[in-house]
Structure 1
Amino acid sequence: MTNTSEKPTLPAVIANAVSKYFGSLQVLKNVSFTVQPGEVVALLGPSGAGKSTMLRCINHLEKIDGGQVSVHGELIGYQRQGDRLMEMSDKRISEQRTTVGMVFQSFNLFRHMTVLENIITAPMMVHKREKAEAIAQAHALLQKVGLPDKASFYPSQLSGGQQQRVAIARALAMEPEVLLLDEPTSALDPELSHEVIGTIKTLADEGRTMLITTHEMAIARGFSDRVIFMVDGEVAEDVPAKQFFESPQHERSRQFLAQMEN
């Protein structure tokens, strides 16, 4: 007998007809998709397709001009007032961002802070976590990303791959429900990319919900569940990763894959 008292699981992310303009240029055109909890979704497409902008709209780093985004059923950046959507206060938006972690391609670590300080600052300030607890969590996260001995180092003393893994640990310290990674390996050479890819795969194996913009096929083909392929601000394909790589339907998808293989 089905237990009717159990609440249905809400989608992790819903993008519904999201539009975004930069001046007169429309960079997102009614983009819609749904991400389920535990899914790893790769956002692929040529440069200028709108992938990174879409990622930034999910945690309201970019304000949307149409449509809406929700995370686990909660509208991001806006609240309903009658039949209108009104932007939330900066404080409330900041609170929402704690549930949606973001890892940038340029690492964005605080250069004047040690690795440990980079990781513990936000949990202590935002979540009011005790310092000892934050430090213990930071050491556990550094172990997870393969950098247990780098807590006292400064970012300038680390390689690019190590800095990116610290950035991932910092994002995880906020215990986000969804993790967004924007071209996490694009600034790295192949050897250092391998380190970061291994860390992301570990998170995927743990069942963490992730959306990743990437040109790295080892991520998209290796362990993504789905591919959302974007062209000119629109979703051209939204299919299981295996299907995308074995039988892409859109001509631009086929061209994209051919370029990646060359």
Structure 2
Amino acid sequence: MFSCSNESHNDASGLVKVVLRNVGHQLLFLNQDSISIVKPVKKLDELKFQLSFEKSLVIHPDSLVYLVKYNFQKANLPQHYLVEVVQCEDNEVAYSYQMQQNREKSILPCGGRQLKRGCYLINIRFTKSIEADKSYSYSWLLYILLIGIFVGIMLFYFKLKAKFFPEEYSENYTSIGKYKFYPEQNKLIKEALEISLSKKECELLAVFISKPNQIIKREELSKKVWEDNGVFVGRSLDTYISKLRLKFKSDESVKIINIHGVGYKLEICN
């Protein structure tokens, strides 16, 4: 009898840890954090567990109350518990509440006040014995696994999208060979590749685009880009021209040609 009772209690404790890890992942998801991890859930005593995080986060009490209640209900865990959000640096309780089966008897103070970003420990102490419905436990574990897989796939998708499909840009662009030049955003786009431009590079390119395939004198380039913008050094123009050439190196149809002793020409071969 003792062995069976002990095994049942271990199953319940294991389920609590799984559920609390899921709560932790959902809190990180609300913080738009898809990189840091939820640390292993600690069992402080028979009825008390501790949830902690690798990095600091913002905690919204309303969200915390909802996530704990929702996940506990899904796992058929007791609805009688005390939650404390503890500050790591001084072990002071930043927020706490008590939940009862009858919500009218629950104590939920200051729900709308956000806890600023910081390091927090979340302690959950059950005020009644933890006896989960074992017939439901395995289906809940499967549910957690499926949710975890779904969240993982979605995070992976958004990472790929952010990497290979840049955000939408305005229609105000100029085509330069295989590139699209967005002067308002200081960017060049070539297919899925995004290339940032400095302010000076952007201004120089704008001058070249205004006179494609035409020779532009050094004096004109210097005046339009550097006039009223600080001291002009003789080599500054040549330096920025070299930088622009590197940005277009993957497209042989676009060349910035040096006309010795005169200036430069942006040559675009159709």
Q: Normalized against structure 2, the TM-score is what?
A: 0.21
Larger Cα-atom Rg: 2
Q: Which structure has the higher relative contact order (CA within 8 Å, separation 6+)?
A: 1
- Normalising by structure 1, we get a TM-score of 0.22
Instruction: Compare the two structures and name the one with the higher helix fraction.
Output: 2
